[in-house]
Amino acid sequence: MKISPKTSNQINIAVLPFVNMSASVENEYFSDGITEEIINTLAKLDVLKVTSRTSSFHFKGKNIPLPQIGKLLGVSILLEGSVRLFGDIIRITAQLIDAEEDFHFWSEAWDRKLNNIFEIQDEISQIIAEKIREHTFHFEINDQSTSRRTDLSAYELYLRSKCNFAKFQKDDLFKSVEEIEKAITIDSKCPFYFAAKAIYYGYMGLMKIIPTEDAFKSSKEAARMALQLDPTDPEANYAIGMVYFFFERDLTTAESYLDVALKFRPNYANALIGGSVMDVILGNNERSLSRVKKAIELDPLTHTHIYYHASALQRMGRYKEALIEVNKLLYVIPYHTNSYCLKGTILTRLEKYEEAVEHYKTVPISTNETVVYYAGIGIAYASSGNLTLAKEYMAMAEKQTQKFHLTSEENPKVIINIYLGNKDLAFKEIEKDISEGKYYLNFYRDIPAFKLLISDPRYSIFDNIFKTNLEIQVSDSSEINKLNRNPLLSGNQIKKYRESLLDLMVNKKPYLNDNLSLRSLADQLDLTPNQLSLVLNEGVGHNFNNFINKYRVEEFKRVAKKPDHSHLTLIGMAFKCGFKSKTVFNTYFKLYTGTTPSEFLKG
């Protein structure tokens, strides 16, 4: 494992879609659901950077070498597995793989009854986190709660709904809503059913699949129900935050919900993007960029995150950097209309007016069709001072309405009229746009034309864009106390337990047990796994895996040349010393001795 406890404090891991090994292909939703639940559970650990579902599922059903997947996702560890359902029994297998070296350093299988699927998921996630820690460096792991319970038929409906929602097609979205409503009917006390419903309706409102007001009302109601049952649910906090931002225009409350979502799921890419946008508006520029960059790392194959990065840089006035970022996206998706028009805005801000005008003459609206964007050209001319052509293109834009569904499309009748000196007309349009909740007005402070209005008394109209309502704060004191607890061990205690550990290794040789884990070794020392992990990393200077395998290598060196072991094969002797894998044995032997086992025996 390439991660060093001295040089790294985060681990990048991707959970690849678990393979459906059941007899029926209809159980695909179940294996996909198990995968997503494990992703979400691991994503709660801040020390792990867990690739989001979107990028991980890009490789579903594709035969791509694991090192290549690791490189594409920018991760050092891959988790893959399978799910088989037969009757009321579920068999789950899981393997952890060093992505660069392409070898499995841990695998396990579980046969469990389906009477509480959450206990199974918690157990697997707990073990995976522990095995990652054994092979990397110290971080604390809280025992997973097994208090969650629900009717299995409701849970199956929930998993089916998540599967359909992930297709992002209109019919499937309606199906996902129908399925989650049925799940809630069966079990109205399960918080994440309501959280899922809130996410579904919020998305359908943003995409205008159903009337916006109805969608956001349903989303907010569902999120409130989820938060009554579990105030720490990340999806519920994210969903209600989006309602406050997009629909209720309450930026302060919206961000406070987003902060809670990220507190309890630090690797939540959607919440990071939403929080980044809000940070731009609030002037928290560095955190905005930090959040969007992390989202890109977590979801590297969702190229549109680059759009948010470029957009944030543009709104901060960092136009040259923004141009570099937007060109990255257009290189991959040249027909991405939002990014194409964002580039035109950036060129205008850079005062490259002629280039902006030419750029706007070929705006892609599909993979093979382009149109002239009159509004963009008019704004470019107005910004350059060519007011005659600006007026002409404003008239053309008004006459031939173009619906590009741009994320932040500026109203040419506002911008151009400001440059023309027609402030009355501009303010009339601004008032209308505020009442309609036009998205571009969220960033009015960063639009150059609006700076010409600052001295006008009517500029106070922009105060109506957002309202302030400090409705929610992080109030779950038990969770806060967990995060602010005292250190595991003092320096003197670490020294004391280090000596006890070294004595145990010499006198009892627990490393000869090929199933030895950090948890079982901790039991022998009357320590918790978290405490022993700290002793190993801080007191000894090794992670568990390196520490134990070093003793196994030394044991092999001690016994391999003894005459009474001559009947054993080389790998047989390695197994006798506690190794359970030929690959792991060879890897660590070469690491600690600088030679191969065969060369050692010949010496």
Average pLDDT, rounded, for the chain: 89
Q: CB of 394 within 8 A of CB of 412?
A: yes
Instruction: Report the topology of domain 11-142.
Output: Rossmann fold (3.40.50)
* CA dist., res. 343 & res. 327, Å (int): 8
Split at pLDDT 50, 70, 90, the class of 486 is low
List phi, psi (to 5°) of 38: -70, -40
172-219 per-position pLDDT tens digit: 999 999 999 999 999 999 999 999 999 999 999 888 899 989 999 999
| 3-state helix vs strand vs coil in the chain, percent to 5 | 65, 10, 30
Task: Round to the nearest angstrom and report the end-to-end CA distance of the chain.
Answer: 28
Residue 464's pLDDT is 87
List the one residue out of 39, 116, 138, 117 whose CA is nearest residue 81.
Answer: 39
* CA dist., res. 552 & res. 548, Å (int): 6
- Residue 301 above 70 pLDDT? yes
- Non-local (6+) Cβ contacts of 187 within 8 A are 150, 151, 154, 193
Q: CB of 108 within 8 A of CB of 46?
A: no
> What secondary structure letter does DSSP report for 365?
E
Segments making up each domain of the chain, as ranges: 11-142, 489-602
- Non-local (6+) Cβ contacts of 564 within 8 A are none
Average pLDDT over residues 521-536: 94
Evaluated on CA atoms 215, 221, 224, 230, the torsion sign reads: negative
List the one residue out of 298, 310, 296, 226 whose CA is nearest residue 266.
Answer: 298
Q: Annotate 500-545 with DSSP letters as a single string.
A: HHHHHHHHT-GGG-TT--HHHHHHHTT--HHHHHHIIIIIISS-HH
Spell 283-301 as b/e; 16+ CB within 10 A means b.
ebbeebbebbebbbbbbbe
Both structure tokens of 274: 């939403």
Span of 85-89, 171-175, 266-270 with lowest mean pLDDT? 85-89
Strand 103-113 to strand 363-366: parallel, antiparallel, or no bridges (unpaired)? unpaired
Both structure tokens of 190: 């399960």
Both structure tokens of 298: 């977590």
For the 489-602 domain, the top CATH level (class) is mainly alpha
- Residue 384 above 50 pLDDT? yes
Residue 336's pLDDT is 92
Split at pLDDT 50, 70, 90, the class of 512 is very high
Residue 404's pLDDT is 65
Split at pLDDT 50, 70, 90, the class of 145 is low
Residue 1's pLDDT is 38
Spell 320-337 as b/e; 16+ CB within 10 A means b.
ebbbebbeebbeebeebb
Kind plus residue range of the DSSP H or E element containing 337 = helix 337-349
List phi, psi (to 5°) of 325: -65, -45
- Residue 484 above 90 pLDDT? no
* CA dist., res. 523 & res. 517, Å (int): 10
407-460 per-position pLDDT tens digit: 778 999 999 999 999 999 999 999 999 998 888 999 999 999 999 999 999 999
536-575 per-position pLDDT tens digit: 999 999 999 999 999 999 999 998 878 876 777 889 999 9
